[in-house]
Amino acid sequence: MKKEVICKLFFALIIFSFLISGIFAAVPTAGTCTISTRAECVAPNQIVMGLSATTNAHGQLNKQTPLYDSVLCCGFGDGVTTCTGANKIIGLSSSTNAHAESPSGTTYPAANNVCYGDLSCRTETTLGSCSSGEIGVLSLSATTNAHIGAFADYPLKICCAGSLTYPCTIDRAFWSLDGTNPISSSESALTGQKAFLIIKGSSANACNGKSVSFTTSPSATTNPVNVAFNGDTATGEWITEWQGTGILGTANPSYSFTATLVSDTTKTRTSENPLLLVKKISDADCAGIVTCDGYKNANQCNTNTPCAVNLAEQGTSVGVDCTASNINCACAWDTTTNTCGFTSASINPFTPTCGDGIVSAGEDCESSLGLNGKTCSNFNSFTGGTLSCSNCKWDTSSCTGGTPGGNCGDGVINPGETCDGTNLGPTSSCSAVNSIFTGGTLNCDSTCAFDTSQCMGSSNGCGNGYTLCYNTLGESYCYPGTSCPTDQTSYCNNDGVCDVGEGCTCADCNDKQDTCTSSLLCSGGACYSSTLPIIDPTCSYGYTLCHKSGSSPSRNYCYPGSLCPLGDESTSNNNGKCELGEGCTSADCKDGDLDSCSRNLYCHSGKCYTSEGPMVFGLCKITQSITKNCDVEPVGSKTIVATGTWTGGDATKTGKIYDWCTHLSDHPISALCPAQVQLPFFDYIEMIGSVIIIALIYLGLIFKKKILRKK
């Protein structure tokens, strides 16, 4: 009997050791990575790299030979280990039998980086664990020249996040009247007022870009349209409806809504209390609200609902054309005075018109502004004659000297030309064509005239309370207040004439529009109107939002490039949400966030850019639309159509930029979307294998017992 017990204990120990040895257990769950044997890392799991051992290991790029038995195995993705420059997990000293360095290391060749999917990885040495939304992948013995181990083995942890590491779930849903905060039990909306549906997702990495659909209860005539997550937040909009409830059908309705993830309809959430009470609107509710100042609360003011003030009429009364494509008019709530007022701002893309007195991208000059100091000698080797501005292009047809004769396209600049092919002559930059331009790329079109459509400058003008300044690189920007920072004051020649680009700090421009937006004149050193409120700007292509510190006025402004002047960095509350006014340099604002960029522009590398490609200003006005989103079959890509509208006159409808602009829609863009999160794999085969082995061992024990009894 004693011998039999010992045998059973011995076999039980074998079984236990067999099961905990990792032969079956060392595979990742969906959305995670772990070190396993190569044989265990089978579909849908993916091998990312080879390892000489499960710990204290050397590394090997995927598919290098001879193959190591141990691997980093991830339970998500498609197995593509191509490096994009942003998805490095660790670096290796060589392609195999290699030491490792941290994701931020640059000691080892980039060709030996271990990369995977859209993972963004970092090191963690303090907490010993990863942040919410991240997974622990590996650990290193040092920042470089290191051995590799499982996540728990070494103090230097490798934490990664990506679109597939955690699935997107809807964690919270609530009504809002200000677009941010939940409504209180005492708040209600009038019929026709705009309400916001706020959705909070599990994480920005998992949810960003995914679409959400809405239904209301009671069922509305028009449901809110689908919206996409921006980071971990999706914000829907709905114009409230009144429908009678109760026994008599006369009671005000209280609405809830249900949000559903389009890509996974099992992920839903119903809005939390309080419900949105909608009251029937009466004539008295909008009585007297014919201009913006009639609104008495921020939501109705900022959304111009439900009374729909005629902004075009109010704009006309203060000299603003709200119907112009480059002017945005709105009612805006002033948080200082708690009043509503009319406001207007210039928006991108700016739609210039030859003859409007403002040199814009796509133009060389404006006849009404003179020659801006230019002569024939500024172009090639002309020695005399008369330079003129014709159709907003420099005209050298009356210039003398240089190289007469020739044809456009021969590479030689002749009279009547300002460039020829790649030959730009001495005028090789945008600013050399006209000092209003402060950067960008100068080209030559098919008619041998300058193509300034990709030049950048201050053609959009400064808003109320701002003045034109130039940084040390000569790039223009609008700064709050009546003076510029030291050594950044705008150009001024004190000749009594307000030249383009001089700015309101120049005495020549007093009481003149100069670089101000329409309806504003220079007064006391800044663009000013007593009838318009001062509002924070939205930033143009190539600019980032900064915050003027120190003395009054302490306001936001847009600065060229992706860095703010020292001390003027935009504010950030570090809550992980890109909120209006934080700016593209904020840690909360990631690439693709809207923040304070102008229409159709998004944060990219610290400044305002576009989400789908470079925006071209000037005579080509570009709009973009998504005709097929990631959630529509076949999933995996979205289709973007860019449409170009040429805003210039007939004389400008020529050249490669015109042809390119008018044929943009002929070439839809197919952009890849992140792969969908794979369903969990429960390793049924391995579980069945374990049961069979246990059963065989158990049968072996019974068979042995019978043999012993026969003896």
Task: Please answer whether residues 41 and 32 qualify as being in contact, where contact means their C-beta atoms are separated by less than 8 angstroms.
Answer: no
Q: Which residues contact 79 (CB under 8 A, 6 or more apart)?
A: 46, 47
At 21 the pLDDT is 39
List pLDDT tens digits, range 94-109: 999 999 999 999 899 9
Helix, strand, or coil (residue 293): helix
Q: Which residues contact 693 (CB under 8 A, 6 or more apart)?
A: 15, 18
Task: Please answer whether residues 709 and 1 qualify as being in contact, where contact means their C-beta atoms are separated by less than 8 angstroms.
Answer: no
Give just the sign of the alpha carbon dihedral 501, 502, 508, 510.
positive
Distance of CA 434 to the CA centre of its chain: 32
Give mean pLDDT, residues 264-276.
93
Of 490, 493, 491, 464, nearest to 477 (Cα)? Answer: 490
Of 599, 667, 620, nearest to 639 (Cα)? Answer: 667
Q: In which residue are the tokens 């924070």 written?
A: 536
Q: Where on the phi/psi map is residue 391: left (φ > 0), alpha (ψ -120 to 50), or beta?
A: left
Task: Please answer whether residues 601 and 608 qualify as being in contact, where contact means their C-beta atoms are separated by less than 8 angstroms.
Answer: yes
And the tokens for 540?
A: 């143009």
Give mean pLDDT, residues 334-363.
67
Note the residue count of the chain.
711
- Considering 410-419, 466-475, 577-586, the range whose residues carry the highest mean pLDDT is 410-419
**pLDDT over 60 (residue 706):** yes
DSSP 104: T
- Greater confidence (170 vs 321) lies with 170
- Greater confidence (669 vs 207) lies with 207
Task: Please answer whether residues 626 and 671 qualify as being in contact, where contact means their C-beta atoms are separated by less than 8 angstroms.
Answer: no
Q: Given pLDDT bands bounded at 50, 70 and 90, which one contains residue 677? A: very low
Q: Which residues contact 33 (CB under 8 A, 6 or more apart)?
A: 48, 72, 73, 74, 75, 135, 137, 138, 160
Q: Given pLDDT bands bounded at 50, 70 and 90, which one contains residue 501? A: low
Q: Given pLDDT bands bounded at 50, 70 and 90, which one contains residue 270? A: very high
Instruction: Write phi, then psi, for 694 (nearest 5 degrees).
Output: -60, -40
And the tokens for 457?
A: 């400058």
Of 616, 622, 596, nearest to 607 (Cα)? Answer: 596
Q: Given pLDDT bands bounded at 50, 70 and 90, which one contains residue 153? A: very high
Give mean pLDDT, residues 12-28.
48
List pLDDT tens digits, range 410-439: 888 888 899 999 888 888 788 788 876 656
Give mean pLDDT, residues 38-67.
93
**pLDDT over 60 (residue 468):** yes
Write the burial class of residue 121 (CB in 10 Å: 0-12 exposed, 13-18 middle, 19+ buried).
buried
Distance CA 256, CA 278 (A): 11
At 671 the pLDDT is 44
Instruction: Write phi, then psi, for 198 (nearest 5 degrees).
Output: -100, 130
Give mean pLDDT, residues 61-71.
92
Q: In which residue are the tokens 């622990």 written?
A: 136
* First vs last C-alpha separation in the chain: 14
And the tokens for 95?
A: 């392609």
Average of per-residue pLDDT values in the chain: 78
Of 121, 120, 118, 133, nearest to 206 (Cα)? Answer: 133
Distance CA 607, CA 626 (A): 23
Helix, strand, or coil (residue 568): coil
**pLDDT over 50 (residue 561):** yes
Distance CA 626, CA 600 (A): 12
Residues 170, 172, 175, 181, Cα dihedral to 10°: -130
Q: Given pLDDT bands bounded at 50, 70 and 90, which one contains residue 6? A: very low
Distance CA 298, CA 691 (A): 66
Instruction: State what percent of residues in the chain have pLDDT above 70.
Output: 74
Angle CA(161)–CA(165)–CA(167) in degrees, nearest 5? 125
Packed helices 684-710 and 2-20: angle between N→C axes, nearest 10 degrees: 170
Distance CA 486, CA 309 (A): 43
Q: In which residue are the tokens 């915050």 written?
A: 547
Q: Given pLDDT bands bounded at 50, 70 and 90, which one contains residue 257? A: very high
List pLDDT tens digits, range 630-650: 556 655 455 667 677 776 677
Distance CA 520, CA 200 (A): 41
Sheet (strand 170-176) strand order: 170-176, 194-201, 233-239
Q: Where on the phi/psi map is residue 440: left (φ > 0), alpha (ψ -120 to 50), or beta?
A: left
- What proportions of the chain, in percent to the nearest 5, are helix, strand and coil? 15, 30, 55
In sequence order, which ranges of 56-178 are alpha helices (DSSP H)?
none
Of 609, 620, 674, 672, nearest to 642 (Cα)? Answer: 620
And the tokens for 98?
A: 């290699």
Q: In which residue are the tokens 């069945």 written?
A: 688
Give mean pLDDT, residues 496-506.
76
My answer on whether omega of the bond before 352 falls inside 30° of 0, hence cis, is: no
In angstroms, how far apart are the furthest CA atoms of the chain?
Answer: 126
Distance CA 692, CA 2 (A): 28
Give mean pLDDT, residues 449-455.
80
Q: Which residues contact 247 (CB under 8 A, 6 or more apart)?
A: none
And the tokens for 228?
A: 């996409």
Instruction: Write phi, then psi, for 55 (nearest 5 degrees).
Output: -155, 165
Distance CA 46, CA 68 (A): 15
In sequence order, which ranges of 280-348 are alpha helices (DSSP H)?
298-303, 311-317
β-bridge pairing 526-528 and 521-523: antiparallel
**pLDDT over 50 (residue 285):** yes
**pLDDT over 50 (residue 543):** yes
Distance CA 625, CA 263 (A): 20
Q: In which residue are the tokens 């039990």 written?
A: 185
At 232 the pLDDT is 84
Distance CA 189, CA 299 (A): 10
- Considering 166-170, 383-387, 473-477, 593-597, the range whose residues carry the highest mean pLDDT is 383-387
Q: Given pLDDT bands bounded at 50, 70 and 90, which one contains residue 303? A: confident
